[in-house]
Chains A and B, each alone.
Chain A
Amino acid sequence: MKIVMAIIKPFKLDEVRDALTKIGVQGLTVTEVKGYGRQKGHTEIYRGAEYAVSFLPKIKLEIACPTNQVDRVIDTITAAAKTGQIGDGKIFVFGLDHAVRIRTGETDAAAL
């Protein structure tokens, strides 16, 4: 089992969710986050005073899936979240030791 964590542009969330649902992903967790990468930030001007906004709003997705599905999930997110512009985001993959469904007590693959 793996955790796929993706940082994407906020307005791409619905497209990514639809695409993941189509390939059979049963659930994902979404967090509103801020951060920076190559895109850096931008400046805002209020009454002539410039303020550097160095952390931009992004969406963080976390998806737990069986190891054999990881590549499809990555491909799907990459295809759906891509605009070709700087700041599209990144995908990270971690190992997942153990999973439990709270309602039934099922574990690991059955819990995903």
Chain B
Amino acid sequence: MSLRKFSRAGLLALAAALLLGVALSLPTYRAAYAQAPAAAPAVPTTPEASAAAPAATPPACDAKTLERCTPNSGDTAWMLTSMAIVLMMTIPGLALFYGGMVRKKNVGDTVMTSFAITCLISILWLLFTYSLAFRAGSPFIGGLDRAGLQGILSDISTGIGNPNSLAPTIPETVYSMFQLTFAIITAALIAGSFAERMKFSAMLWFIGLWAIFVYSPIAHWVWGPDGFLNSANADAKFHVLDFAGGTVVHVNSGTAGLMAALMLGKRKESGPPHNVVLTMIGASLLWVGRFGFNAGSAVSAGMQAGMAMAVTHIATATAGFTWMLVEWMLRGKPTVLGICSGAVAGLVAITPASGFVGPMGAFAIGIAAGSVCYWGCTGLKRMFGYDDALDTFGVHAVGGAAGAILTGVFAINEYGGTPGLIEGNAGQVLDQCIGVGIVFVYDVIVTLLILKVVDLVIGLRVSPEVERDGLDLALHGETIQ
């Protein structure tokens, strides 16, 4: 009972901290907002000029023109769409994908985990994680100039705010929300490893801290304007190609998942998936949403987005088919869960490569993903005996690492501006391996620390009675009939 009190107190403290954060950030927000009108009159020097100003349209925003510019409407429309369909990947996509794989007594907890993570990560994003990840700061972590999303308004006529240099042709509001959906799904993916046995309150603490101390820095290293692994940053130590998140999203979430599975220990008993049709619907939503994820990562609606979309589809279809064939040969039957898992593995592996590789490269990556991830979920798992309940590590870390390394092999200069091993640039493979290695090591250390702290304060795992009766009834007071 005292544990329960502890966890309740923890949740109350979280709520209080969030309110305090909002209260503290409000004055700075007002200040930033209030400065703008004061600055505006400084621009037109004469009354005539100020009368003429509204008529003239500012020039188009691009990498060189980031202030007083007009965002590209085509790019903005595509990015608004991408944001929405990437959010759909988590709710309901991932929620259904995972929900179908658990036993009936834990479905509610599993789908709610995805939903609650969506809410929690969004709040943290607003408060400071967006700023930490995607604003310039140091090579290791971003600055706090967008804390509370202050100054994010891109007002082209008065020059308040401006596009993020990472997405020069769209308003920063759109870029920020687009990247939010990535932060959400990365955290939600981890849930596959600790399903059916983690306390809901401990899950919230773990995911919140993980988003701050693991996701934000890693996203900044690989994608931040001055990140030390960012291939687009001329000053970067290692030029790691990661178009849409092979390291940031998949190696990252898969590794965190493995740590959670190891810290929590095995489930007392496990059963077959209660409804593979839910899983199939979820996998299909993940597939469709992935076009926003990968093609959207071009942050524009042009040639690169088109190629990213094409290779995403090719790799996914190939990997789903490959997994099915491998399973058919080794176990005698092609299964619904198998073909869906293969497709998700293909989505994962093409993620870092989309935008850099061509159609045949995607085909090769699809075959690799379908077979390597099959091994990740069967042979590898059996070899070490951890209970990665829904195979977050086997699909996401294994598939993400394979995809990231193969990006260095199949990258084509003509498509993404960087040659890979097949065009003679062996060094790129090394950079890719270094990127995966650094993310893996940092993730292991910090995730374990967070889990240890949460375990000491409120405990990670539900009691054996709760686990036996199902998390739905015990933790949420609801059941699915």
A residues with a Cβ closer than 8 A to B are 44-49, 51, 53
- The distance in angstroms between the C-alpha atoms of A6 and B271, with both chains bound, is 30
Contact of A47 among B271, B333, B391 (CB under 8 A): B391
* A48 to B388 Cα, complex, angstroms: 13
Give chain B's interface residue range (CB within 8 Å of chain A): 10 to 19
In the complex, whether B57 has a CB less than 8 A from a CB of chain A is no
Determine which of B271, B272, B273, B378 lies in contact with A48 in the assembled complex, contact meaning CB atoms within 8 Å. B378
Q: Which residues of B contact A48 (CB under 8 A)?
A: 327, 331, 374, 377-378, 382
Q: Which of B296-345 contact A (CB under 8 A)?
A: 327, 331, 333, 335, 337-338, 341
Given A45-B335, A46-B335, 15 other A-B residues pairs in contact with their CB atoms under 8 A: A44-B272, A45-B333, A46-B101, A46-B273, A46-B337, A47-B377, A47-B378, A47-B391, A48-B331, A48-B374, A48-B377, A48-B382, A49-B270, A49-B378, A51-B271
Q: Contact flags (1/0) for B261-281 with A, using CB distance below 8 Å?
A: 000000000111100000000
Q: Is the interface of A mostly helix, strand, loop or mixed?
A: strand
Cβ of A79 to closest chain B Cβ, rounded Å: 34
A44 to B333, CA, bound (A): 10
23 example contacts (A-B, Cβ-Cβ < 8 A) are as follows A44-B272, A45-B331, A45-B333, A45-B335, A46-B101, A46-B272, A46-B273, A46-B335, A46-B337, A47-B337, A47-B341, A47-B377, A47-B378, A47-B391, A48-B327, A48-B374, A48-B377, A48-B378, A48-B382, A49-B270, A49-B378, A51-B272, A53-B272
Give A47 to B376 CA distance when docked, in angstroms. Answer: 10
- Shortest CB–CB separation between residue B99 and chain A, in angstroms? 15
* Shortest beta-carbon distance from B374 to chain A in Å: 8
Q: Which of B146-184 contact A (CB under 8 A)?
A: none
Chain B residue numbers with a CB within 8 Å of A44 are 272
**B residues touching A (Cβ–Cβ < 8 Å)?**
101, 270-273, 327, 331, 333, 335, 337-338, 341, 374, 377-378, 382, 391
Shortest distance from the beta carbon of B323 to any chain A beta carbon, whole Å: 9
A98 to B369, CA, bound (A): 67
Q: How far is the CA of A45 from the CA of B341 in the complex (A)?
A: 14
Contacts of B337 in A (CB 8 A): 46-47
The smallest C-beta distance from A42 to any residue of chain B, in angstroms, reads: 12
Q: B374: which A residues are within 8 A, CB to CB?
A: 48
List the B side residues contacting A49 at CB < 8 Å: 270, 378
How far apart are the CA atoms of A45 and B336 in the complex, in Å?
11
Cα separation A48 to B329 with both chains bound (whole Å) = 12
Determine if B272 and A47 form an interchain contact, defined as CB atoms under 8 angstroms apart.
no
Residues of B with C-beta under 8 A to A53: 272
Look across to chain A and name the residue whose beta carbon is closest to the beta carbon of B376. Answer: A47
Q: How long is the Cα–Cα vector from A9 to B251 in the complex, in angstroms?
A: 48
Report Cα–Cα, A49/B101, bound state, in Å: 13
B333 / chain A contacts, CB cutoff of 8 Å = 45
Q: How far is the CA of A10 from the CA of B203 in the complex (A)?
A: 43
Q: How far is the CB of B338 from the nearest CB of chain A, in Å? A: 7
CB distance from B446 to the nearest CB of A (A): 29
Residue of A nearest to B382 (CB): A48
For A53, the closest partner residue in chain B by CB is B272
Within 8 Å CB of B341, what residues of A? Answer: 47
Separation in Å of the B91 CB from the closest CB of chain A?
24
A44 to B331, CA, bound (A): 11
Closest chain B CB from A55 CB (angstroms): 13
In angstroms, how far is the closest chain B Cβ from the Cβ of A48? 3
Which B residues touch A46, using CB under 8 A?
A: 101, 272-273, 335, 337
Within the complex, the shortest CB–CB distance from A105 to chain B, in Å, comes to: 36
Top 3 closest pairs, chain A to chain B, by CB:
A48-B378, A51-B272, A47-B377
B331: chain A residues within 8 A (beta carbon): 45, 48
Q: With A and B bound together, what is the CA distance between A44 and B378 in angstroms?
A: 15
Min C-beta distance of A75 to chain B, whole Å: 39
In the bound assembly, the distance between CA atoms of A48 and B335 in angstroms comes to 10
Closest-CB distance, A46 to chain B (whole angstroms): 5
A residues in contact with B271, CB < 8 Å: 51
A45 CA to B378 CA, complexed, in Å: 11
Alpha-carbon gap, A44 to B337, bound state (A): 12
Taken together as a complex, chains A and B put the C-alpha atoms of A53 and B101 apart, in Å, by: 16
Complex formed: what's the CA distance from A51 to B338 in Å?
Answer: 15
A44 CA / B336 CA spacing, docked (Å):
12
Please indicate which of the listed interface residues A44, A46, A53 has the most CB atoms of chain B within 10 Å of its own CB: A46
CB A50 to nearest CB in B, in angstroms, measures 9
CA distance A60 to B327 in the complex (A): 36
**Contact partners of B382 in chain A: CB under 8 A:** 48
Bound CA–CA A51/B341 (angstroms): 18
Report the bound CA distance from A49 to B391 in whole Å. 12
Taking CB atoms, residues of chain A closer than 8 Å to B391 are 47
CA distance A46 to B391 in the complex (A): 11
